[in-house]
């Protein structure tokens, strides 16, 4: 019975991700053909759709979400560091609701701006400075995304990569835990690689 329950939850997560892609397609963020299969012809839109959906499936410490830091006047702040690949697509997400808060997108230029974010996308242009960016965020409840292979190996949390003609993602569970964050177990099953053992296995 437990195994059947896990299967149903996994199907629900896949369905939710599929529906999110279709919703983004309807909003003009991503073409329906790309939403259906994640092909790299619309790579920036596919990555942005994944990013938005993975934020929705992530969990922040309750005191952070409901104690004012995440729910302050700026709402839920998504920071973009470096030369992002999204361009005008980001406007389609501005103001959308995430965890009950309006999503605000900020181009990060200073360490103080970084600390005010609840999620950060670090572009490939920042690869030489990645270590410095992650050090600023060390111990902060900030979900980090990157679009260069090896991002999670260097301490990032969610890394996008291309596999043949599709966009996939990998997750660093240890980095998430150090920041006090959690990712839905259903999402972990969709990742092509997960660094660190799930909590139940880690205790054994």
Q: Is the pTM of this model over 0.85?
A: no
Average pLDDT over residues 168-177: 95
| Domain spans of the chain, in order of start | 2-202
Mean pLDDT of the chain: 79
Greatest mean pLDDT among 22-31, 66-75, 169-178: 169-178
List, in order, residues 6 or more apart from 159 with CB less than 8 Å away.
145, 146, 147, 148, 149, 150, 151, 152, 169, 170, 171, 172
Instruction: Take residue 114 and report the two structure tokens written for it.
Output: 């970084």
């Amino acid at each position: 019975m437990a195994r059947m329950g896990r299967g149903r939850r996994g199907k629900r997560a896949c369905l939710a991700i599929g529906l999110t892609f279709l919703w983004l397609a309807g909003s003009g963020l991503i073409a329906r053909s790309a939403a259906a299969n994640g092909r790299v012809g619309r790579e920036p839109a596919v990555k942005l759709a994944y990013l938005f959906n993975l934020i929705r499936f992530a969990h922040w410490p309750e005191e952070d979400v409901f104690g004012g830091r995440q729910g302050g006047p700026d709402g839920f702040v998504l920071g973009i560091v470096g030369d992002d690949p999204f361009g005008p697509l980001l406007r389609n997400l501005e103001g959308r609701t995430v965890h009950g808060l309006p999503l605000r997108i900020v181009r990060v230029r200073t360490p103080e701006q970084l600390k005010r974010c609840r999620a950060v996308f670090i572009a490939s242009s920042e690869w030489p400075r990645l270590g410095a960016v992650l050090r600023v965020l060390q111990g902060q409840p900030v979900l980090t995304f990157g679009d260069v292979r090896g991002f999670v190996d260097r301490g990032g949390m969610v890394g996008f990569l291309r596999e043949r003609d599709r966009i996939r993602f990998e997750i660093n569970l240890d980095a998430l835990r150090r920041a006090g964050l959690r990712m839905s177990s259903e999402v972990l099953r969709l990742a092509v690689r997960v660094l660190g053992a799930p909590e139940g296995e880690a205790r054994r």
